[in-house]
Amino acid sequence: MEKSFAVSKYLSAVKKLVTTQIPPVWVNGVLTQVTERGRMVYLSLAEFVEGDVKPIAKVDLYMYAGEFAQMRARTSALPIPFKFSEGLKVSLLVEADFYIGSGKFQCHVTNIDPNFTVGELTLTRQAILQRLQKENLLDKNKSLPLAALPYKIGLITGEKTAAFKDFTTTLASSGYAFDIIPVYAKMQGNETETTVLEALGKLRQMPELDAVCIVRGGGSKTDLNYFDSEALCRAIAIFPVPVFTGIGHQIDESLVDKVAYRSCITPTDCAKFLVARAEDASRRLREKILQIASAAQQKLSRSTNRLSKMETSISVLFERRIAGEKQKQFSLAQTLVRAPERIFFREREKIQRNLEGLQIGAQKIIALQKAKFEIVETKVKSHDPKRILARGFAYATAAGKGLVKSKSEVQSGDEILMHFADGNVSVVAK
């Protein structure tokens, strides 16, 4: 009978053979598992054929927690940082090993080639940009018109985060009645793409949105990699209203920043842009109100002058006409004194008819001019500033400054008098 080995001895021999005869080598593939468990980190590296989600080969890997922490610190400090996450292409230096407890072949990861992964990330970004450029999607959202006063804002951010607080506080303190519709999403980690896409889908169903803002607070630069998603870029590019981003840093720019209507550095910067837009619209509205009021006043003055001149002209003309007719009547009377009685009565009736016709004509002239005056008066009143105020507008004045036309004319603590149609309200600028 041939010699028989115990399982442990047999597997120990296999382990010795594997660890001594197979040298350390660099192996590249796609990470399909990254699991931290106590003092160990377990990974899986797989090879795929393009277009097929099923791997053609896979190897199990492990690292000690301390080794993993050091390696993660290295990759996070790179100019183009990245995290160990599923779907990441990596090149790892591995040592063949064999786990006796389960009779399982596995490899110990001892190093990583960051240049390989950085190169893959760069190539992926470039490929996505080229596809978006080819399909004319890079500037599609930028070409949308932005409302002069965007007040209904969809907000995508993390729930109960500093980003949410900074954004909403900035808008609330502006004094403008912004209507914020928050939809919460994960702003870092593997769920970022899925949850942000879901949030965009929900906001797409909201009627009368003026803009959407995607904001996140501080975080590592590696978290920005989640916003290099082609699916997110496409969703933002074809969104029906302008999309703003406030997710990056001063230097770093993600792919979604490139396709957004406007990229801001922080959530606060994003909110400040909307406030500035509202202030500009408010300023232009005040200027328009003042222009209308001034034009109405000038038109009223001109119409009043013209009407006064018309009244004077009509009065002079009427007096001259009456004087002339009286002179004719006197002349005819002198003639009739010497004429037969029949001629006297006939001429007197004729004069009477002429006089009545003259009076009726004068009355018609006065009525016609009065009607014209009433038309002019109606037009003038339609531009009356009081009526403009009655339609919901208001204007501000300050003691010693008169009419306030710009925010820069007011300092903190100034008392401002707001003029409405039904009265005035005194407020203090902050």
pLDDT-based confidence at residue 335 (cuts at 50, 70, 90): low
From residue 44, alpha-carbon distances to 58, 71, 72, 86, 204 in Å are: 7, 16, 16, 9, 38
Q: Which of 285, 284, 279, 282 is nearest to 388 (CA)?
A: 285
Highest mean pLDDT among 28-32, 34-38, 370-374, 380-384: 34-38
pLDDT tens for each residue of 18-77:
888 999 999 988 888 888 999 999 998 888 776 666 778 889 999 999 999 998 888 877
Residue 215 neighbours by CB distance under 10 Å: 25
Provide the pLDDT for residue 412: 79
pLDDT-based confidence at residue 228 (cuts at 50, 70, 90): confident
Q: Token pair for residue 159?
A: 């729930």
pLDDT tens for each residue of 101-117:
888 999 999 998 887 77
Give the span between the Cα atoms of 372 and 353, in whole angstroms: 29
pLDDT-based confidence at residue 367 (cuts at 50, 70, 90): confident
**Residue, of 54 and 9, whose pLDDT is higher:** 9
pLDDT-based confidence at residue 363 (cuts at 50, 70, 90): confident
pLDDT tens for each residue of 271-310:
999 999 988 878 887 777 777 877 777 787 787 778 777 7
pLDDT-based confidence at residue 121 (cuts at 50, 70, 90): low
Provide the pLDDT for residue 361: 75
Give the span between the Cα atoms of 158 and 226, in whole angstroms: 14
